[in-house]
Structures are given as C-alpha cells and as structure tokens.
Structure 1
Amino acid sequence: MRRLSGPLCAAALLFACSKGNGSSNDKGASCQSLLDCGAGKWMCIQNSCVAACQSASECSSGLVCEEGICLKPACGNDAQCASGQVCTDGACAAPPSASQVVSCAIAPGPAVMRAGSTLQLKVVAQGASGRALHFNSFSWTASGAGATIDATGLLSATDAGDVAVTASVQGGSASCTTSVHSYGPPDSGALRITAIDIHTRQPIAGAKVVLGSGTSITPAQVTGSDGTAQFPNITGFTNVHVFAAGYSYTSFIETDGHDLLVPLTPYLSSSLRSGFTGHMCSSRSADPSCPPEGDFSQLQIPGQGVHLAFFGSGIPNSPLDLSLDTLVGPLHRVVVSLTGGSACGSDSQCPSGQVCGSGRCGTGVNLPYGLVLGVAGNFFGTQDYRVFADGGLRALWGIGGNVSAGKMSGILAPVLGGSGSVDVGALLPQLLPLLGDLQAGADVGVRAAPNATPGHAPIFTSAAIPLNTGMRLRLDPAVPDLPQVDGKYLDGALVVAGAMDYPIGFIPLGMTAGLSDKVNGANGPKVIDPNCTAAGGSDQSCATSQLPMKLAPENGGAEGSKVGVAVIAFGGLSSAFSARVVLSGRIKVLDKVDYVAPPSTGLSPSIPPFPNLPSSASVGVSRVARQLSVSGDADPAVQIYRFEVLSHARLDWNVWIPRGSHTVVLPDPSAVDAAFADPFADVAGDDGKTAGPTSRLVALELSENKTAVQLETFSSLTLDALGSSLSAFTAVQVPVGP
C-alpha cells in the first residue's frame, strides 16, 4: 500500500467521524456514574440512567432496543410524527409557534435573474437565540420588474429592474426582505457577460473579459457596476475568458450563447478568510470556560478516552465541490503525542524526529482547522476549532463524540508516530468500525463576517454548534462494481449522505467507506462490507458491495430537505495506482429517510453503474503551450466538462468545455492586465513552499437534459446552482506536462 503523509493522513482520519445515539432513557434517574443507577442492567449515559438490553422485550412499553440500550423510537421526518407534531433533531415534538419566530433570512439574497425566468428562494426562521427553527408558515410578496412569487418562494419577473421580496411569518410579526436584480435581454446581436460572486450572488464590477485563444484575443471589455460587459455583433462559437482581481478565473470554450452568467469564486489566502470559532473540552468541570455544547462528557460514548469531532460549513454549490478543505477547512500545524511528550523549550530538546510545541515534545502533524482531537484532557491545541465560511447565508455542521483508547491507539499511532506517515490501506479498515460512535448537529442560516484585506486580521465569530442529534437513521446502499481506469479497478468507495438544503448548501449527516476486494493481489470490482465479520472479514466472504451506514436525521434548520446520497469510487490511495487521484461518483436523491427500529434493516437505495473514466492518454495539460486537451467522451452521458488548473497559491482557473474532443489554448492573464497572476506559474503557497500547478478534469452528468450553452446562460439551471441537479460526475487528476 502507498504510504501517505500530511493532508491525506488528515483526510483519512476524517473517515472515523460519523454516528451517535439518542439519550431518551427508561429509568430516567440522573447520574454521574454507573454506581448512581443502582442494581440491575443500567448504564449511565448523558447523566441519565438508561436500561441496557439485548432485545426490545427487555425494554419498557413503547421503547426500542438500539445499540444495547432502551430508547424511545426516533423519527426521520415529519411524516413519522403524530398529527400536530414535527420531527426536530430526530425526535417528535410540538412545532415552534409563530410568536417564537423573532427573525428570518432569505437565500439567496441578494440575487440575480433574467427577465422571463424563475428563481427559487428559501426562508429560514430564527428564534430568540438566533438559531434556526423548524417553521415553514410564511407568506411571500414581491414588487418591481413585473414580479410575482408563489407560496413556495418561486419568483418570476417579466421586466428588467430591481425586485423587492418579503417573507412574513403567518400569524406572527417577524418578516425579512431581500432584493433581486432582473436583467433584461442583451442588445440585439451582442454577446453579454454577467459576472457575479458565486457565494454572495452580487455583481462584480471591474472584471475584464476577452474573446479568443492563446495570443489571438480581443481587447478587454470591463464589467460595469451591474457586472455586465457586451461585445457587439458576435456570431458563431466563441471562447470567452473572464478575469477579476480577487477571484479565480473562468473560461467558456466554444460557446454560442449570447447571455452568459459567469459565477466567479473568491480567491484569497486562508490567512485572510473569516468564519466561526468554537471551543471543546473533556468536561466543563475540568474547563469552566467551556460552553455546554462543547462538553465531550455529555456526548456518546461517555467515559471513553479519546475525544474526536470535526466541524465545517455546508458545501455551498454542489457535492462536486466536496473536499477536505471545503468540509473542514485548511490545514494548520499542531504538535501531538500519545504519551504526553517530554517538557521542552525548543526542538533541540526533543528526541530525534520530534518537535517542540506548547512546551511538549511530539510529532508535527498538519490537521484541518475544523478537527478536534483529544486524548483524556490533552487536545494538542485543537480544542479551539475554526470553520471557514464563504459569503451569503450558510450552514454550520459538526460530528463528534468519544471513542475508546483501545480502539484508537492502533489508528493514532501511525498517524501521530515518529514517521508522520500512514498506510491508508491498513488505516481505513480500522476506522470504519468506529463510525457508529459519534453525534451530529447543525446551525442553518448563519452569515460569516467579511473576509479580511491585507494588513487586517480576519474575524471569527463565536459559534457553539450543538451535537445533539444521534445517528439513528440507516441506509444500506448497494455499491455498483468499481470502475476501471487504464485497466485497473479503483481502490474503494466512499458514501456521504447529507441534507440538500439548497440554495444554502449540502450539509453532511453521515459517511462510511469500503475498500476493494483483492483478486490475485490486485484491486477487484467488488467492495468489502466494513461491518462484515464472516470468516474473519476476509475479502472473498465479505465482498458484498454493501456499505451499511448510519446518519443523523436532518436537524438545526435543515429539516424538510431532500437527502442526497453521494456514492463515490476513489482511486490513488494504493500501490495499484499511479500517484494521481481518480473519482467516479453517483448522487442518489431521496425525498426522505425513515427511521426503522432494529433489527429491521435500513433503506437500500439503488445506485446505477459508476460513470466511465477517461484514460490517461485521452487528457493532457501542457504548461508551456498553456494547452488543455480532451480526446472524446469516456462516458456517453457527459453533458459538460470543467477543466481546472490550480496554482500552488490556490488560484484556480475553471475552463468549461462542451462534450466531445477539444484542444484549448488559454491566454496569458498578464496580457489582459499585468496585475493578473498566472495559475501556470511557480508560486509560493500557504505552506511556504514554491511549486507549480496541479490540474484535474471533471465531467458532469445532470438530471436535467441541458446542453453546455444552456448551463452557461441565464436559464432554469445555472453553473452556480448545480447542487439539486447533479446526478453523476468523474474527476481525474491530470499531470501537468512541460
């Protein structure tokens, strides 16, 4: 197996995080330890005495036996609750009243649309604490630009101009407003480009737009205050390139659209990004400054020696953008030691291979800002987590709990040991059985402070994300046969389930993974069930391609959303592969997931075969020639490609290409404006190292039958809102050649 260090060690560690239990008890007496619960089969869980069990017959009437304890049945959605109740945090309860809603927020807001089209808006109800409420009784009004809006928040506009939209609580006094700008048609025969911030949906003034390829480009047109620029008398197919200071670049290749909507992603160093921060502790008695939401002693499973949690912001546009960075933030350096480490004042006082941090010797490890890791009371400096959130209305989420030191010692030792590297093939099977030990929580409808500018510090707003929802829903997806690339099967499959709370984002609710079976020492097409114990869990007997998982019910304001199940085949983690990372994914959208009591099995969604992957010889990048090439479509269902060139400083260039064979020569950004950096150049990154770019080719399949041009223009589905329609994708790392 390939040994990985740094970011991939941290990424593999994240797979250990996803489950928990409810806390409704049988006896109900309060407790601090098992001794407080008296004689009989009792457990002390979250300061309450709970009856232990092996079957439901050992529990009181109305309770179920789940994970060895008696619990009230959970719910997965409102339909599983009695009339007049709603499902909140996995339990049926009376809905919030209109008087409890003191404020609200509309997403997206502000926003843009084209006259004659529609835009779906969402409103989030908020209580006195500022947290989202499971409340949906709003009335909508819209005025200006010939606008109308229906009871679901679907906005229509017939004219150009600004639209004022208001959502008002029915039976209450709270209301909220936003503005939507409706663009009229472009001038006759002209090509119009509208540049917007992909997160805030605000127009971008001062962006520079050129047409052409390589050195044969037009003079730049500059976008005005409304984000638009026009080229008169344009016919046929055109290459369009959009550049803006502080944003990644975007190109549309061979487009014949005449009204292009160009969402640009902000580009800035992680040191300037704002967001949220929180604090975790082993117990509030040991750390009185710790908020109640951060107390590990109140999470499942209490009394265990290792504390593990991670926090992040919902993926704003689609699961296509799911990565370690978008999930739990960029990496930072911490010094860790399983044994506590010897006291030190400098690196020279530490044993060979160790460094000094916070007065103790240990191993320097890059971990995400959103990851909290503690052994007993030692958190290695990770207890103050950070969540980096983009502009607009966002959702925060977290998954955390306690794991036994016995289970974690074998996993943490190679990660935190002297080598700083880990055999991922050996690590994943150890992590997978631990996915049932954690709890989840979310906070929908938050806004981060603006990002900092050079010379100013970013702002991190205090946020305590309550991990109060147990992982009591179950799915049992059947994974299709793993795809091949260059004649080799991929390494395994990852499943991520989440609330598709668009336009706010994809909010993870649970995850699991399984590795490929082995055939004559090489990857095979089947995936090993990580929970299988038959014949000692050998590949052949357990290669069922079933990946049973637990997930949390929707919570924290995401209730009522559809559930997306992303099943992603991955390659690049074992010696059977070259160094490049390869993904092939399917996204199954479920209207809801019901709670079913054990021993019944969970829903088994049907997953179509994975999309075909392009061969290494069919894609290429030439750095000197600034050339990208795609030879044919590996999968016939591909609708559009996104070729990405990413500099080491994380300046991205997204090049949208229609299906088929194409050779693209990109212009030099400095020829457009000397201030524009070149993603193809060697640059210093946040890690202090200087390196060249990386690249990958992403192929998209959508549930709606759209051409590339329809996606690039103002239509019912645009490139900044693919989340609800993305059905499959592939992503292949492409070596950058000379």
Structure 2
Amino acid sequence: MSSTPRFPLLARLACVLLCLSGCGDYLEGDVTGRPGPPTSSREFCAVDQDCSDPDLFICDTATARCVAACRTQADCRGERRGIHALAVCDDAGGLGCQCDMNRCLPAVCAADSDCESDEACRDGACVAPPEPSQAASCEVTPAVVVGSPGLAVDFQVWVRDAAGRPLVPREGMTWEALTPSVVGAGTGAAGRFVLAEPASEHAAVSVQVGEASCSALVTVLPSEVATGGVRVLVMDAQTGWPVPLAVVAVSDDDGEQTAAMVTNADGTAWVPARGEVGLTAYHPDFGYLTLARHDASRFRDVRLALVRNPLDRFGGVRGEFPTVEDSLTASSLLRVGVAGLSVPGLPSDQSAEFVAGPEREVPLPVWSTGVPGPQNLSLPSGAALWMADRQAPEVALPGVAGMCDGAFLSGWDPELAPRDGACGTRTAWALTGVVSLADLPLGALQPKIDPLLQLGRLLQGSPRFFSLVARDTRFTLAPTPGIGVGEPDVRTVEYAQPLPFGDSQGVRLSFPFVVQVPSLPQYQGTYLDRAYVLATVAAPGRGLVPLGLGAAANTSPADPNTDADFRLGRPGHVAVRMAPAHGGLEGQPYRLLVAAVGEAPDGSLATSTLVKTLSGPQFDPEGLRPVSMDAGFLSLPESARYNFDGESHQGLEAREFQATVDPRANLVRAEFSTRAGRRWTVLMPPEDLDDGVQVPRPSFGFEDRTYASPLGTTRARLHVEVLRAAALTRREGEGVARLVAADGPRMERLADLTDAVASVRLGHPEVTWLHPEADGQRLARGSAVRLRVTGFRLGAPPEGQGRVHIRLQGGAGCVGPFDTEQDVPTHGVGEFELLMPAGCQGVGATLTATLVGPDGDPLRPFVRSSRRVDIH
C-alpha cells in the first residue's frame, strides 16, 4: 500500500488563495482558539538544531522561527520546560496539556468522571455542576406517544435556562406517571415507562426540574383487537402524532388489493385479513409503506411509522458561517468548514439535499501555471472555504420536519404546525478550522473531487479544528417551489431563520484516535474506493450530531484495505479526530459510523456502513489502541432487480422484486423515489427474496410511486438496503413482523437498532443524444452519431445489462436497425459513437435510440430518445 494520495481539493484552493492573498506570517500564538501563552521564540532557524533547546522547540520552516513544541506529554510540564514553562499546562485548576501534533494544548474533558468529584464536565471543561434551580423550561421527547398496552417507551428531557441556553443538571430531575395509563420511573435525564390502561390522549408522563416542568401526551389503545383482521396504527415517524385519513390496504401474493380501510382520528384502522398478506399504508403527504408477507393471523396489532415526503416542504437556517476567534495571524490561513442540521432516522429516509444541503457552484478565479481560469467548484450548501482575513461566506442548512415550539411561529397553531410538517427542532452543528497555505501540497488537480474525503484527511493531522453545536435549533418549512408540478427546486427556497451559533467558540477536536476498518466489500467486481469514519453523539428526538471525522481512499491500489495514511503507515487504519459531547449533549451516547462507499460507471452508488457504540472519545494519536469494529461489512445487494412492468418480463413476474442478500441481514428495504422525491418503501423478510416479492398495485386514487411521474412512463429511482437490526431474527415471521408489532421494539427506532446496513442506489437508465444535439440538424452521409447512456451497464451479462438499439426511419438507402457492439464506451463513461450507413440520405429521417436487455427486448417501461435529422 502506498501513502494517502495528496489533497486535490486543497491544492486547487491553495492556487486560488495564494493569488488572492500572497504569503504572510505563519502561525503564531495559541492554537486552542482561546487566550494562552506565546508559543514562539525570536530565534531564527533552518532546522530544529538551530533552536536553543531542540527538545522543547522545533523549527517552523514556514517562518524560519523556533516555536515551542513537544514530543511527549512530559515535555509540556513546567518541571520539564523550566524557564520555557507554559502557564496553561501547569494551571492547578485545569486538566493539564496533551502533546498533540508536537504542540502543547490544553486537555479537554469528555465526561464528569474526568473531573473532580465536585465538578461536572460541560463544554469540554471541568466546572461547577449546573443547579436544577437554573432551569427555566424543559421539553420531553418523544412528546407524543400512541400505542397499545405493553409498549415500552424511553423518554428524555431537555432543559434550558432563562436565556434559552441548554442546561444539563447532574441531578434534581423528578419523573412521575400522572395516570394509571402508564407505569415506570426515571433516573436523571431519562425515564422508561410502559403503556398500561387504555386511555384517550392526555398528559401521562411528567418531569420536574427545579421550578420547570414538562410532560408528554400519551394515547393508550384498547388491548383487544377484533378477530378476523388486523388493527394498524399509522403514525408520523418524526413527531409521534397519529396520521388520520390514511388508507390501509390488504393485498394478496399477486399484489391485488383485497380490502382497504381509512384511519380515524387516533391513526388506527381495522382491516379484514387472514394468513400471509401485504399491508400498505397510503397517505399523499407521507411515503407509502408496505409490509410484505405479513402473518396477519399471528401479528394482529401493528404500528406503521411513516416518513413525511422529504421535498414537499423545505427550509432551515441560513447565515454567515461561524468563525472561531483565535490568536493566529491570518494573512496566509485558509478557513474551511462544513455544517448541517442533525438528521433523524436512517439517512435513506431523507433526500440527499437534507444531509449536506443542495450542491452549489462556487466560482474560483484561478491563475496558475497549467491551470485555466476561472473555474467552478461544486460544494454542498453547508460547506465553506475562505481566507481567514476575509468575511465568512453564507451557508444554508436545511432541516427535517418534526416537533417544534410554537412560541417562534407566526400565524400557526402550535399543534397544527408539526402535524403539517411546517416546522422542526434539530441540532445545528459545524466542524471548522484553519489551515496554513504553507502546509498545502500543490499537487495535480483532479476533475472530480470529494470535499468530505479531503476534509476527513485534513482533520487527521491538524489540532486547529473545532466543533460548534446549537442543540435546540428551531426553523420553519414552506412549500418547495415547483412541487406542485412535480419539479421541486430547493435552490430557490427562502430560509426564514438565521444560523443559531451566536458567539459560541466551540470545543476543539482534541481527541485523535485510530479506527481499524474491516476489509472493504466489493461492488461489480471492484472494491469500494473510499471509507469515512464519522464520530457522532446520538441526541434523542434530534438525530445524530457529528463531532468529528476521518477518511481514507482505497485507490493505491484498490484492494480490501484503505490506503495507508502517511502518518500511520498502516493500511486499513483511519485516523479520526473528534470533540467530546458539548453544547447540552453531555451524557448522551457516542456512536461511531464507519462507511465504505463506491460508485459504478452506470451511476449506481454502493455503501456499506457499520455502527458501533463508544464509551467515549480517547486520546490516542499514534493508534496504539485502535478501535476495532464488532463485525465486518455486510455484502452489497447487487443482485437486486425489479420488474417495473405490469406483465412478466425477463424472468420476473409483474412488479416482482428479487435479491440474494447477506445471510447476516434480518431486514430488507426497497425504496422507490419519484422525480418529486416522494417515496414508496417496501419492508421484506430476507428469507423470501430468492422466490421474489410482489409490490402491490397502488390503492385507488393514489399515484404509483414505482414510476418517476404520474404518467407512468419512466421508472422511479430504486434504492435497496439490507440491514442487521438488534432484537430481530431471521426466523420465519420473526423479523419484520416483530419490528412492527404493537409491543415490539418500535419501528420509528429502527436507526437506533441497526448496527450494519449495506445499500445500493441503482442507476436510473437514460439515453441522451449528444450529436445530433437538436431536431432538424443536418448530418453528412456516413458521419458518426454520439450518445450518452447513464444508469445502465452496456455489455453482455454478467458485467453488462444490455445494449443500445438504434433505428433509422425515413430517407433513402437507410438500413436499420443497428446496435452497439461495444462493451466498453470509447468517449468516457457512458458515451460512445457509431457510424451511420454510408448510403443513407434524405430529409426528415428519424434516429431512435432504445435501451434493450440481454435478450434484445426493450426495457420496460421504454427508455428511448429520438432525433429528426436531414442527411445529405
């Protein structure tokens, strides 16, 4: 294995910024971002040996000055440094210093146990524990619960002071069951209660913190379910509110509907069903959800959690990217950062625009040898790059709808707004820091870059990055422009709320450690080409909040191990840097996500992710105690295929889904997505997929979301996931059915239960004419025509999926049809050209390109494109 490839994104930025600012003084001062001791000497140097004490100083070649440094933690202590002592490292009230990247930096706590017994760890520092008397308001999550007797629910309380800032008292929380409808108790910020006696909606669980109190609304359904059918509760996965007026339909093995009922005000409907059936919940504002092969005779009380259509409404917070003030000179420093709002549930539940924000083009006026300009860099709306002595750019952070405090809403009923998906409360986060241009290699530029990969590499070797968190970020969402015609345009959305970070200085990413990444899986015969390690904290009711990052490529060579980092020199090991939980998230569980990612030439995206709960961050920059995952990656479901047609085709029955999946998985999700982002998710037991599962035909009055548009002429995008979820088994009838059972582990908690997921976002087959570009164009006899094919692998099975069939109609001497004979395109991925028959000429000839399968039959629905041309 060779060392990690250079940073092409940063190299490009260096070219840009050098021409904008020139070279200035390098880093001087404290890199913690807070006032501290000077770390530089007036000694000029060329090498470390030029300094007065090479053991305590190193030569910063960028400034030719000696700067205070360390090689071990002992080098930071006063008894070792003598007259060069650093006061912050010997502060009796502090935690001392760590030797981080040869700099003595103040240590940061990660838990109360890191502090004295009379102190608490808050925002990375040991302080006096917050008093319950400081509490002015609180919020219980989940705020709304509907269920049957026996359902166990874990509640969490979030506390705020009089100024609305997060408060995390160490004690003083008193939980209480207000009625016989629930039983249970709580300790500290969390409580567990079990639904007991049936009751209509009422305040059933409360918590008292000082003078502040808050409660959760609970509805307990009757325990008895009428025989001969199934009671289905339909609820909003993000708020817990029941969903009335949803249609619950029963279908047979062929996908034909046999019964349907509409949910009432409490979100329930009883439908007649016996034996093995399909159960589907339909609502125009939510993604459809189908349970395939459900045993209606055994599991007769079911709860289905629907996810709101992700692009129907859009919004969030917007403003100038937060800047962490520091004592560094700024003339040659580049600030970089990425920010977002926490995303609840599985990432696949939301559109890509919600995770990092929609892509935008950032103009970069580059002038450098061999680099043309100007150039554009495509970045998510939450990413930012700017010179440290310039004004920070504006970023936009989209948010997912959920519960919200009605106090900040204008013109909305506080209860109606979350029911309609018009607002949300999430945690805003940002990872940001500074980089010296002198540290950036000016390597070759690449036409395509991965900003997240470059940032993950950069974080590994820099102690100058910080984490900022705003735990209770509220925002509104408005109908997305263009959604009414099925073409949502999220780039024109107005964001009504400002960025919430204020004057927060954040907490330094002061915990470097190493993760041992398991062998990477293969997709289409090639190992996945990169791996990300995301360090997070799980915030109940908010979602996962990133606190740190690491990344590695797998290109030199492409094999089962990630490339060796040049600092570690060990293949398959990724350096990570993270901050402790802060900003009111103290005490919540840490989760480590390790994802292997790769793209195929046909446009499909493959991802396999492992999740591990961490006891806490550790300081281990050399990777002496690498964090290992509990199991290997799940293999990818690349055999998955679906017949979009209404009739049997290519060995599949109408609307049939088949796949062979990793035997360790216990749940499969096939998710269709329309052009407007509206979903249809089918949950299936893995043991049934070899024989195939029929997706039901939609209930009357509902669009068929297996197609991209209501016209039903283009197939929808298909995303296939296989999951390994705790509390589920692969025993027949015990997997999916147990997840949705009334007293089961709760479907809305699937993300918390999952420790491994492998997914393939299949390419969307399209064929596009590149030449001729438009109708009516003149072509010379025997000239070449050029096309682009995406979402489809040209060639014979198993590597390919078929070919392009081109038909010539009209004109004289035209011989058609003719097909592509090439397995590998000649003009780049997905592009190729063919020569027309030399004798073909005439006015008004038509060229039609159609994608066909291995047997020569056209894909269904048809994937084709035509051009009318004049041939002379």
Q: TM-score range by the shorter chain?
A: 0.7 to 0.9
Taking a change above 3 Å as real, the CA distance of residues 714 and 446 of structure 1, as seen in their structure-2 partners, is farther
Q: Secondary structure at the match of 2:742?
A: coil
Per-residue deviation, 1:553: 0.5
The one-letter code matched in structure 2 to 1:388 is G
Residue deviations 1:297-351 (CA, integer Å, cap 9, x gap): 44989555322222212221246658853432233x344124499xxxxxxxxxx
Instruction: Flag the structure with larger Rg.
Output: 2
Per-residue deviation, 1:642: 0.6
8 Å CA contact retained: 1:76, 1:595: no
How many pairs does the alignment contain? 646
Query: Aligned residue for 2:236?
Result: 197
Q: Secondary structure at the match of 1:660?
A: helix
The one-letter code matched in structure 1 to 2:497 is T
Taking a change above 3 Å as real, the CA distance of residues 447 and 194 of structure 1, as seen in their structure-2 partners, is farther
Taking a change above 3 Å as real, the CA distance of residues 582 and 267 of structure 1, as seen in their structure-2 partners, is same
Query: Aligned residue for 2:693?
Result: 664
Q: Secondary structure at the match of 2:582?
A: coil
8 Å CA contact retained: 1:211, 1:241: yes
The one-letter code matched in structure 2 to 1:462 is P
Say whether residues 1:67 and 2:85 are aligned partners: no
Q: Secondary structure at the match of 1:57?
A: helix
Q: Secondary structure at the match of 1:273?
A: strand
CA distance in 1, matches of 2:104, 2:235: 53
Say whether residues 1:702 and 2:725 are aligned partners: yes
Q: Secondary structure at the match of 1:121?
A: strand
Query: Aligned residue for 1:488?
Result: 526
Q: 1:528 aligns with which of 563, 581, 585?
A: 563
Query: Aligned residue for 1:285?
Result: none
Q: How does 1:273-672 map to 2 (within 5 A)?
A: 273-280=314-321, 294-298=322-326, 304-318=332-346, 324-331=352-359, 333-339=360-366, 363=375, 366-375=378-387, 382-392=393-403, 393-405=425-437, 414=446, 421-422=447-448, 428=453, 432-435=457-460, 436=462, 437-452=464-479, 460-465=496-501, 466=504, 468-516=506-554, 518=556, 523-532=558-567, 542=569, 544-572=571-599, 579-595=603-619, 601=624, 604-614=627-637, 616=638, 618-625=639-646, 627-632=655-660, 634-662=661-689, 663-669=692-698, 671-672=699-700
Residue deviations 1:325-381 (CA, integer Å, cap 9, x gap): 3432233x344124499xxxxxxxxxxx99xxxxxxx555553222223245667x9
The one-letter code matched in structure 1 to 2:317 is F
Q: Which structure exhibits the higher relative contact order, with contacts defined as CA atoms closer than 8 Å and separated by 6 or more residues?
A: 1
The one-letter code matched in structure 1 to 2:113 is A
Per-residue deviation, 1:202: 0.8
Query: Aligned residue for 1:47?
Result: none
- Determine what percentage of the aligned residue pairs are the same residue: 23
Query: Aligned residue for 1:731?
Result: 759
CA distance in 2, matches of 1:34, 1:714: 68
8 Å CA contact retained: 2:332, 2:387: no
Per-residue deviation, 1:620: 0.3
Q: Secondary structure at the match of 1:79?
A: helix
8 Å CA contact retained: 2:159, 2:166: yes
Per-residue deviation, 1:605: 3.2
8 Å CA contact retained: 1:299, 1:402: no
8 Å CA contact retained: 2:357, 2:396: no
Q: Secondary structure at the match of 2:634?
A: coil
What 5-or-longer segments of structure 2 have no aligned partner? Answer: 1-8, 14-29, 43-50, 60-66, 79-89, 91-95, 404-424, 484-492, 647-653, 730-734, 765-858, 861-872
8 Å CA contact retained: 2:182, 2:204: no
Query: Aligned residue for 2:177?
Result: 142
The one-letter code matched in structure 2 to 1:221 is M
Residue deviations 1:375-425 (CA, integer Å, cap 9, x gap): 45667x9414333232124222111122234556858965xxxxxx4155x
CA distance in 1, matches of 2:166, 2:497: 17
Taking a change above 3 Å as real, the CA distance of residues 595 and 475 of structure 1, as seen in their structure-2 partners, is closer
The one-letter code matched in structure 1 to 2:304 is V
Q: How does 1:716-727 map to 2 (within 5 A)?
A: 716-727=744-755
CA distance in 1, matches of 2:668, 2:435: 42
Q: Secondary structure at the match of 2:396?
A: strand
Per-residue deviation, 1:215: 6.3
8 Å CA contact retained: 1:26, 1:70: no
Per-residue deviation, 1:716: 4.0
CA distance in 2, matches of 1:475, 1:325: 30
Say whether residues 1:155 and 2:163 are aligned partners: no
Query: Aligned residue for 2:815?
Result: none
Q: 2:309 aligns with which of 239, 244, 267?
A: 267
What 5-or-longer segments of structure 1 have no aligned partner? Answer: 1-8, 14-19, 44-49, 281-293, 342-352, 355-361, 415-420, 534-541, 685-689
User: 197-206 or 384-393, which moves further after superposition?
Assistant: 384-393
Per-residue deviation, 1:28: 7.8
Q: Secondary structure at the match of 1:312?
A: strand
CA distance in 2, matches of 1:683, 1:378: 48
Per-residue deviation, 1:275: 2.0
Say whether residues 1:225 and 2:265 are aligned partners: yes
8 Å CA contact retained: 1:25, 1:51: no
CA distance in 2, matches of 1:382, 1:514: 28
User: 157-166 or 220-229, which moves further after superposition?
Assistant: 157-166
What's the RMSD between the two structures over aligned residues?
3.8
What TM-score do you get using the length of structure 2 for normalisation?
0.67
